[in-house]
Structure 1
Amino acid sequence: MDISSLKSQLSEHGQEHVLKFWDSLTEAQKQTLYKELSSINVAQVGEYFKNAQATLQAASEKIDDLLEPVPKELCGSVTRTSVDTLQKYETEGLKQISNGKVAMLLLAGGQGTRLGVSYPKGMYNVGLPSGKTLYQLQAERILAVEKLAEKATGSKGVIPWYIMTSEHTKEPTEDFFSKHNHFGLKPENVMLFEQNQLPALTLEGKLILTNKAKVALSPDGNGGLYKALKSSNVLKDLEHRGIEFIHVYCVDNILVKMADPVFIGFCIQKGANCGAKVVEKSFPTEAVGVVCKVDGQYQVVEYSEITQKTAEKRNPDGRLTFNAGNICNHFFTLDFLRDVSLNHEHELKHHVAKKKIPYVDDDGTEHKPSKPNGIKMEKFVFDVFQFATDSNFAVWEVIREDEFSPLKNADEAGKDTPTTCRTALCSLHSRYLSAAGAKLLRADGSPYPDSLSQPNGTDGTGDGNSPNDIPICEISPLVSYAGEGLESVAKDQTFTTPVMLELSSDGSVNTSQPKST
């Protein structure tokens, strides 16, 4: 250990305080702290802090005059597109899947802290009748869409699954997949890689010690993807496999359509190398980022960055002018990802989040603060939209109740919880069965309201469809990817809930009535 050089380097950048307990550390602690500090580019961190402060200041300024909605010609919508055109998009997507040109890339660096658990979100079970976790649902959807593509084209393609973890989630995620035999996927097609970390800083830009021998570190945000792609072998693996199109998403959306062939086909036929899947904002001031144009560049603008007057602007048809709600669900070509990762990653700005960060005081006493005492810096995955142009950017609007229900909080929060996720999936699957010609009855034999056949009200705000009035209904992705092929088991059939459709070992569909959740 060259402690003298390290001290000199830290001192040069005003960070020498992190060695104040050095003489009291054990040899093992010294080795650990030395290795950690040596891996931190303190000059670069100082520059990040300076730029992040400028970004924070800019974010506090309203940018209404610079905003434009995404041009109509770059947008598409599942509800305003003809059945024939939707079929063309789907056919294109399934063709690319069967040709082995499509990969999934999962952003899974976060822990389930707000859920009240210490393990990765993907391992969470929201209480479905099957007890399946988010990871299992997503793995089975990959298998399902591969089969759809093979059925449509006669050619079997593989969708490799790349999972970006963090230091805290990589090992438990690896163990979880191994324990469950990768949920039917081949291990060589499930690849984990780790995002980088950045030090947490005080509000004055100083490194924080969480204890005498440990610097406070945190993942560098889902926008750390591009640096991680460059530092890992993922880009090379994508190239080696002949992948051309990558579908990127966040782990917490229980309704995510893996390798969505319609979305992929839409982006390809638009000639896009960068695309965003969005949902229509529920109301003007909904706390969701909006995909739009700012001073000529595409980006996601947070709701706090625009005034209420701008948020309430409407088009002649009555729809909100800025209504493209971001759901962190994106399409990229490999060429675009490669260019961003190798040539533009350094241009992405760090965003600042004020956090409560455990620290050790000058006396060596450890504290867990009750209010924010520092900042974490991170990049956002969608900040690369700025590198897209009018000729290669696309936005695809989907129905929220069909495709977006995130898991973020424990049930006490009331929003984005295990209950809301479970309710959303059961509502969707109930509608699948209804559309296939089935009738659903409560345990007492009474029918559910007709409004359940429509995609609304699953949050308890519409037409009496409170979570307690949604049928407990689950369809395995191995039975149906998105509601297709259910007529043979559902048409003119009556199901008493709770009901669960699973694929049997002989390939037939097994209908069971599990205990109510």
Structure 2
Amino acid sequence: MMTVVDIREKYISANQGHLFGHFDGLGADEQDELIHDLSSVAQRVEPTKLVKDCKDAIQLSKANGSNKGSIEPLPSSSYHSIIGNESAEREYWDLGMKAISNGEVAVILMAGGQGTRLGSSLPKGCYDIGLPSHKSLFQIQAEKLIRLQNLAGTNNSIQIPWYIMTSEPTRKSTEAFFKENSYFGLEASQIMFFNQGTLPAFDLNGEKLLLSSPTRLVQSPDGNGGLYRAIKDNNILQNFEKRNIKHVYMYCVDNVLSKVADPVFIGFAIKYGFELATKAVRKRDATESVGLIATKDSKPCVIEYSEISKELSEAKDDQGLLKLRAANIVNHYYSVDLLKKSLDSWCGDMSYHIAKKKIPMYDNATGKYIKTEEANGIKLEQFIFDVFPTVPLDKFGCLEVERSKEFSPLKNAPGSKNDTPETSRSSYLELGSSWLKDSGAILKENVLVEVSGKISYAGENLEQYKGKMFDSEGAILE
């Protein structure tokens, strides 16, 4: 156990002595609370290293605009498409279903986000996008797992473990939501909740840590790249080994169309021996503001649209498609073998990135709480794709999928320009309705039907609706 003197020395040696400017004026309980908070941070990362990491992140931000490197599309050995390629899709599906049936597949859901931008006080996964059934995102995704389990086994013989990464603000309410809804028909034992980490915030110069109160530092989630540290800190790898998991499907809670535990994606990685793979959708046009999966100096990476020239963003291949068209949707495959050999180095070597934010803070020099209308501090975060360059190109794959079937993110408040509850709702209903039409159902013009994930994972099992007329809104197929 570190003493008060130890903690003070650690922070003072990191030029953070200002954190103790009000210490002598605190009561004994408040002093203990502050020391406990500072100690918990110091146990995760040395204060001197934290300050250095922030300075390095500031420099990285400045360098990104000038150090472009040689940017090229992924080679054909790494980049494959199932758009218009049904035979490959069937082959991948069979390989993936075999792995699921053997109990070798687990799912990681990144669900640490709050629904504040959507006007909700609940975690984003609890959000109702306005379907006729009023199902939450969590329920929609759980029912896809149930259907896939039914396809993979008999008599509830297959359970796909579901690891749900929350954040400190969302953990309790997420667990309570699942419990209140009886885990949406899944077994409680197949669901494991764990928290992503947090990082302290700095002033704009990256020199001083900020306080949120007299007894606590300002802290915020460590970005989607915090997944790797969270896997390590929560002993998820050991849990994989205990369950004999070999393949991991990772996705984000805000994509209502995500094919949870997608056998096609898993089978794709298995067929080509990829240790890490990612899904992509085609960039809509040369001007779409989206990260792109490519290579930089012959290593796989995600590049920001701002990093490439107008000429490169508009360049086309011999098929008339954009050369750089693989839009990142943060949907990954990991082999457990890769995680075993790489997790420690990823956690130790990943860079931090900065986000300048308006941060409410406590000024211990004046004893006042401060709110500002302008950015006054830096939050540190890690990006999940920063590990891509560490994977050999022949072990890295990218699968191009159809956007309308697999990607409709929920990012913005109702009524915004794009990526809203309205667009998510439309995408979900339009996909299910297209499955019905393909199965021979008749839908009146402009009528959309909600097809539950419990009865169809990817358009199968709808033959019984052949010739059936759907002529009014609000129909739900359960």
Q: Do they fold alike, i.e. is TM over 0.5?
A: yes
**Range moving further from structure 2, 307-316 or 243-252:** 307-316
Structure 1 equivalent of residue 435 of structure 2: 432
Structure 1 equivalent of residue 177 of structure 2: 176
Query: 1:386-416: CA deviations, max 9, x gaps?
Result: 1222221111011111110111111132211
The question of whether the paired residues in 2 share the 8 Å contact of 1:478 and 1:502 is answered with no
Query: 1:358-412: CA deviations, max 9, x gaps?
Result: 1123322212221211111111112221122222111101111111011111113
**Alignment partner of 1:11 is 2:12:** yes
The question of whether the paired residues in 1 share the 8 Å contact of 2:149 and 2:156 is answered with no
Structure 1 equivalent of residue 76 of structure 2: 72
Query: 1:171-224: CA deviations, max 9, x gaps?
Result: 111111111111111111000111111101111221011222221001111111
Query: 1:35-67: CA deviations, max 9, x gaps?
Result: 11112231121121122122212222262x510
**Secondary structure at the residue paired with 1:73?**
coil
Q: How does 1:83-122 map to 2 (within 5 A)?
A: 83-122=86-125
Q: How does 1:385-424 map to 2 (within 5 A)?
A: 385-424=388-427
Structure 1 equivalent of residue 342 of structure 2: 340
Q: Return the offset for 1:23.
A: 2.9
**Secondary structure at the residue paired with 1:96?**
helix
The question of whether the paired residues in 1 share the 8 Å contact of 2:132 and 2:476 is answered with no
Segments of structure 2 that go 5 or more residues without pairing to the other structure are: none
**Secondary structure at the residue paired with 1:90?**
helix
Equivalent residue for 1:327, pick from 326, 329, 340: 329
**Secondary structure at the residue paired with 1:247?**
strand
Equivalent residue for 1:370, pick from 355, 369, 373: 373
Q: Could you tell me how far apart the structure 2 residues matched to 1:330 and 1:386 are?
A: 15
Q: Could you tell me how far apart the structure 2 residues matched to 1:177 and 1:499 are?
A: 26
Residue type at the aligned position of 2:410: L
Q: Return the offset for 1:354.
A: 1.1
Residue type at the aligned position of 2:99: Q
Q: Return the offset for 1:25.
A: 2.6
**Alignment partner of 1:255 is 2:257:** yes
Residue type at the aligned position of 1:54: Q
The question of whether the paired residues in 2 share the 8 Å contact of 1:149 and 1:155 is answered with no
Query: 1:87-135: CA deviations, max 9, x gaps?
Result: 1111111111011000000111221222222321111111111110011
Q: Could you tell me how far apart the structure 2 residues matched to 1:37 and 1:345 are?
A: 21
The question of whether the paired residues in 2 share the 8 Å contact of 1:290 and 1:301 is answered with yes
Q: Could you tell me how far apart the structure 2 residues matched to 1:29 and 1:301 are?
A: 45
**Secondary structure at the residue paired with 2:114?**
coil
The question of whether the paired residues in 2 share the 8 Å contact of 1:98 and 1:158 is answered with no
Q: Return the offset for 1:227.
A: 1.2
Segments of structure 1 that go 5 or more residues without pairing to the other structure are: 442-446, 449-470, 504-517
TM-score, normalised with respect to structure 2: 0.95
The question of whether the paired residues in 1 share the 8 Å contact of 2:439 and 2:463 is answered with yes
**Alignment partner of 1:476 is 2:434:** no
Query: 1:217-254: CA deviations, max 9, x gaps?
Result: 01111111111111112110101100000001111101
Residue type at the aligned position of 2:238: K
Structure 2 equivalent of residue 496 of structure 1: 471
Q: How does 1:131-280 map to 2 (within 5 A)?
A: 131-150=134-153, 156-205=157-206, 206-280=208-282
Query: 1:325-351: CA deviations, max 9, x gaps?
Result: 000000110011222212332121111
Residue type at the aligned position of 1:492: G
* Structure 1 pair 494–199 and aligned structure 2 pair: CA distance change class (3 A): same
Q: Return the offset for 1:155.
A: 9.3
Q: Could you tell me how far apart the structure 1 residues matched to 2:383 and 2:108 are?
A: 15
The question of whether the paired residues in 1 share the 8 Å contact of 2:82 and 2:88 is answered with no
The question of whether the paired residues in 2 share the 8 Å contact of 1:226 and 1:340 is answered with no
Q: Return the offset for 1:162.
A: 0.5
Residue type at the aligned position of 2:470: F
Query: 1:280-326: CA deviations, max 9, x gaps?
Result: 00011211100000112111111122222221111122111110000
Residue type at the aligned position of 1:319: L
Structure 1 equivalent of residue 126 of structure 2: 123
**Secondary structure at the residue paired with 2:138?**
helix
Residue type at the aligned position of 1:92: L
Q: Return the offset for 1:261.
A: 0.7
**Secondary structure at the residue paired with 1:114?**
helix
The question of whether the paired residues in 2 share the 8 Å contact of 1:98 and 1:155 is answered with no
Residue type at the aligned position of 1:371: E
Structure 2 equivalent of residue 299 of structure 1: 301
The question of whether the paired residues in 2 share the 8 Å contact of 1:438 and 1:491 is answered with yes
TM-score, normalised with respect to structure 1: 0.88
Residue type at the aligned position of 2:373: S
Q: Could you tell me how far apart the structure 1 residues matched to 2:321 and 2:303 are?
A: 18
Residue-pair matches, total = 471
**Higher RCO, 1 or 2 (CA under 8 Å, sep at least 6)?**
2
* Structure 1 pair 403–211 and aligned structure 2 pair: CA distance change class (3 A): same
Q: Could you tell me how far apart the structure 2 residues matched to 1:367 and 1:413 are?
A: 30
Q: Could you tell me how far apart the structure 2 residues matched to 1:31 and 1:140 are?
A: 46
